[in-house]
Amino acid sequence: KYFLLKYFQKYLKDKILNGLVLEIHNKKAKIYLPDYNITGDMMIYKTILNPGEEIQVKIEKVNPFLEILRLKLA
């Protein structure tokens, strides 16, 4: 997972990625990126998302050491 996140940090920082909403808890959504077989978190404020919905996201923050992948809507 470390090297995949390192790759995201270096090459995919500004690219649009396809995502699938897995679950939503409070104002936090768990997003699955099927092209890379990894999940990330996304804070949702004014957007209404439903589990199973396909969305496009960008990387907001990535930290390979702490295994953090935070996404935002594209």
State how far the Cα of 2 lies from the Cα of 4, in Å rounded to an integer.
6
Enter the tokens of residue 37. 């077989």
Output the pTM of the full model: 0.90
Structure confidence at residue 13 (pLDDT): 87
Q: From start to end of 2-74, where are the E strands?
A: 17-25, 28-33, 38-43, 54-63, 68-73
pLDDT string in tens for the chain (74-residue length)? 999 999 999 999 889 999 999 999 888 999 999 999 999 999 988 878 899 999 999 999 999 999 999 999 98
Q: Are 12 and 60 in contact (CB under 8 A)?
A: no
Domains and CATH numbers, the chain: 2-73 (2.40.50.140)
Q: Are 60 and 41 in contact (CB under 8 A)?
A: no
